[in-house]
Structure 1
Amino acid sequence: MSTVTRLHHALPLSPAINNAVKDLDGAISKAIDAAKAAGLPQGLVVSVLHGHAHAQTHNMVKA
C-alpha cells in the first residue's frame, strides 16, 4: 500500500485539492439528483455508488 496517499498527513490541503473535492462533491450531488428525478430507486443509486467506491478502493490497494 505504498502508493496510497494519506491526505491527513499532508494537511493543510492545497486550494487545488480543496477545489477538486468541492467539484467532485457537487458533481456527485447533481448526478444523484438527476438519477432520483429520472425515477431510479434509492437503493439502486446507493448500490451504484457503493460499487464505484469498492472498485476505487480495490485499485488503490492492489498495487
Structure 2
Amino acid sequence: MTNVTRIRHALPVGPEVNEAIEALDGAIAKAIDAAKEAGLPQGFIVSLLHGHAHKETHLMVCQ
C-alpha cells in the first residue's frame, strides 16, 4: 500500500487538497439532500455510501 497517503502525516495539506476535500464533501452532502428529498429511505442512502467506501478501500488495498 505504498500509494496510500495518510493526510495526518502530510500536514499541513496544500490548498489544492483542501479545495478537493471541500468539493467532495459538498457534492456528497448535496447528493444526500437530493436523495432525501426524492424520498429514498435513509438505509438505502447509507448502504450506497458504504458500498462506495468499500469499493474505494478495496482499490487502495489491491493496487
TM-score per shorter chain, which class?
over 0.9
Give the aligned residue type for 2:59: N
Give the TM-score normalised by the residue count of structure 2.
0.96
Query: Higher relative contact order by CA 8 Å / sep ≥ 6: 1 or 2?
Result: 1
Residue deviations 1:4-27, cap 9 Å, x none?
111111100001100110010000
**Cα RMSD for the two superposed structures:** 0.6
Give the TM-score normalised by the residue count of structure 1.
0.96
Residue deviations 1:9-57, cap 9 Å, x none?
1100001100110010000000000000000000000000000000000
Gap regions ≥5 residues in structure 2: none
1:1-63 equivalences under 5 Å are 1-63=1-63
Segments of 4+ moved more than 4 angstroms = none
Distance 2:16 2:2 in 1: 23
Task: Describe the SS at the equivalent of 2:40.
Answer: coil
Distance 1:61 1:45 in 2: 25
